[in-house]
Amino acid sequence: MNGDHQALALLLFSAFIAVTLAITTWVSRNRHGSAEEFYVGGRLFSPMENGFAIAGDYMSAASFLGISGLIALYGYDGMLYSVGFLVAWLVVLLLVAELVRNCGRFTLADVLAARMRERPVRIAAGTSSVTVCVLYLVAQMVGAGSLVALLLGGTSAAARSWTVVGVGALMVIYVSLGGMRATTWIQIVKAVLLMAGAIAMTVMVLMRFHGDFGRLLNSAAARSGQGMDFLAPGLRYGGDWTASLDFISLGLALVLGTAGLPHILSRFYTVPTARAARRSVVWSIGLIGSFYLMTIVLGFGAAAVVGTEEVRASNAAGNTAVPLLALDLGGGAGSTGGTVLFAVVAAVAFATILAVVAGITLASSASVAHDLYATLRSRGQSGRQPYGEVAVARVAAVCIGAVAIALGLLARDLNVAFLVGLAFAVAASANLPVLLYSLFWRNFTTRGAVWSVYGGLVPAVLLVVLSPVVSGSEQSLFPGVDFHVFPLENPGLVSIPLGFLAGWIGTVVSSEPPDPAKHAETEVRALTGAGAV
């Protein structure tokens, strides 16, 4: 990774930043400053645009570099991830997208508040949404720091800190100035870049092996040092029952968590109808599915072309597998083609991070302003609030950005790879049960809703604190101490059933009877779109 890479990569980074800032300025040139405009871009995106934006929102740098890297290191076990990330979209398509679009306005809490007493459910859903966002955001920020430093060669602490600060500042600018419209266009641009980059590299890998996938697999197995074991599961998650249960737990969290991610839910409100929401999910499933199919080729390609040991030597987590593959496909280190491809991959990874963090920041600012602030302010006061909701949302975006930067800097040297899995687990345990119950269960009550959120959120966070990722092993957050009592790294296997159970118990012991009229309203609106905004 010489100076040429760095210069070219920096040039492409700057070009992307310039283009996205131009987009932000352009879309906010004559905005109305309404909540409708800020949170959901006026609900005027087409299904195709929204489909690309959803794909751009969802495919993080962890999927682009991380999953291909895992495949390059562990072969088949890396592929298990991508299957979970894709199958999750069936839950979104079948159970959530259309119904949520019909029932809500901006956030998850809107759907619940349509049926329940507004104040407690808004606070509960807002809290869990912000928790999910912050967990996800910190993971992305720390990842961004180490990734950009890795790609640019400068692995010094200062370079990483400045990357975290820079990414945080940019995402705050996009979100607070451009709102949903700017965020969406950044995600669309990113999705197009990511798909184009992945397609180009996949074609080059397949050409290298004359279009023969079997030959690619055989070379990968041969160069991995594992032989045919490389193509079968077990290299990473095999072994004892804890490792198996841990992966099953993660798989469950991935599949059920996607439908509870606040930044994904808020995307369905950016299209005019439920039908458009469904069509945008169909678009995004097509894009995400083909992207993960390509990461399989890239991962095995990196093992076959670069070699597993070289990948591991460059970065123990495998994050440099795709950049190294790009260097090799372009003609090797020092060649023009290699330099250009490497810089393109680095720029795409950077664009990916920016688009994802912007989406999450926007979703969490909506939760803070629309759910938490509006509810807490309105106690005891009737009438207008002193500040407009959009102004609060902009300030919230700045504050969340500051918190994310601070946590990102604090956690800079810590192993935070578990945070993404945790964010999905919290989303699956706290957000999904309450969402499904209130859409489909006639007798669900306010107490059930509140218990369901906290009954998933608290165990998920608590179990992680008591798990080996925080204490008790070499790779822990705090390697010095040991207070772990829960054996799994991902809490999903326990906390997701607890979330559903708490919602059921809360409803059963509820003193207030369920309101059949409210249930009828939710059900009729969800399935027909009557009264949808």
Partner 1 sequence: MVEKQEDRDVAPVRLDDPWCDALASGWSDRDGTGAPAPERPLATGDGPTAGPSAGDIYLEVQRSEAFQEVRARYRRFVVPACAAFLVWYLAYVVAATTAPGLMARPVAGAVNVAMVAGLAQFLTTFLLTWAYARHARLRRDRAALDLRWDTQEMTRAVGR
By CB under 8 A, name the binding residues for partner 1.
76-77, 79-80, 83-84, 86-87, 89-91, 93-95, 98, 214-215, 217-218, 221, 228-229, 231-234, 237-238, 243-244, 247-248, 251-252, 255, 275, 278-279, 281-282, 285-286, 289, 292-293, 296, 516-518, 520-521, 523-525, 527-532
d(C-alpha 111, C-alpha 265), whole Å: 11
d(C-alpha 386, C-alpha 408), whole Å: 33
C-alpha distance from residue 233 to each of 74, 191, 321, 392 (Å): 9, 30, 20, 49
Type of residue at 84 = G
Six-digit token pair at 521?
A: 């309203």
| Closer by beta carbon to partner 1, 213 or else 478 | 213
The number of C-alpha atoms within 13 Å of 306 and in the hemisphere containing its C-beta is 32
| Closer by beta carbon to partner 1, 83 or else 123 | 83
Contact 29, 360 (CB under 8 A): no
Query: Taking the CB of residue 445, how many other CB atoms lie within 10 A of it?
Result: 25
Q: How far is the CB of 162 from partner 1 (least distance, A)?
A: 40
Type of residue at 59 = M
d(C-alpha 33, C-alpha 391), whole Å: 9
C-alpha distance from residue 388 to each of 363, 366, 370, 374 (Å): 18, 13, 10, 10
Six-digit token pair at 261?
A: 């991610």
Q: How far is the CB of 312 from partner 1 (least distance, A)?
A: 22
Q: How far is the CB of 337 from partner 1 (least distance, A)?
A: 29
Q: How far is the CB of 297 from partner 1 (least distance, A)?
A: 12
Residue 209 CB contacts under 8 Å (≥ 6 apart), including other chains: 215, 216, 219, 304
- Interior angle at CA 376, CA 372 and CA 380, nearest 5: 155
| Closer by beta carbon to partner 1, 282 or else 466 | 282
| Closer by beta carbon to partner 1, 79 or else 173 | 79
| Closer by beta carbon to partner 1, 92 or else 193 | 92
Residue 471, beta-bridge partner list:
478
Question: DSSP string of 284-313?
Answer: HHHHHHHHHHHHHHHHHHHHHHT-HHHHHH
Six-digit token pair at 433?
A: 């049960």
| Closer by beta carbon to partner 1, 55 or else 358 | 55
3-state helix, strand, coil in the chain (%, to 5): 75, 0, 20
| Closer by beta carbon to partner 1, 172 or else 220 | 220
DSSP 8-class letter at 467 = S
Q: How far is the CB of 519 from partner 1 (least distance, A)?
A: 8
Unique residue bearing structure tokens 């894009």: 287
Q: How far is the CB of 255 from partner 1 (least distance, A)?
A: 6
- Interior angle at CA 198, CA 193 and CA 201, nearest 5: 125
C-alpha distance from residue 336 to each of 3, 4, 265, 328, 339 (Å): 13, 9, 43, 11, 5
Q: How far is the CB of 367 from partner 1 (least distance, A)?
A: 27
| Closer by beta carbon to partner 1, 7 or else 520 | 520
SS3 291: helix
Q: How far is the CB of 130 from partner 1 (least distance, A)?
A: 29
| Closer by beta carbon to partner 1, 297 or else 362 | 297
| Closer by beta carbon to partner 1, 228 or else 313 | 228
| Closer by beta carbon to partner 1, 244 or else 385 | 244
Q: How far is the CB of 250 from partner 1 (least distance, A)?
A: 9
Handedness of CA 436, 286, 288, 401 (dihedral sign): negative
| Closer by beta carbon to partner 1, 178 or else 301 | 301
| Closer by beta carbon to partner 1, 95 or else 406 | 95
Unique residue bearing structure tokens 């991070």: 353
Q: How far is the CB of 320 from partner 1 (least distance, A)?
A: 24
SS3 471: strand
Six-digit token pair at 18?
A: 């310039």
Q: How far is the CB of 406 from partner 1 (least distance, A)?
A: 36
Contact 249, 350 (CB under 8 A): no
Chain centroid offset of residue 513 CA: 37
Q: How far is the CB of 198 from partner 1 (least distance, A)?
A: 15
Q: How far is the CB of 405 from partner 1 (least distance, A)?
A: 36
Unique residue bearing structure tokens 């822990």: 476
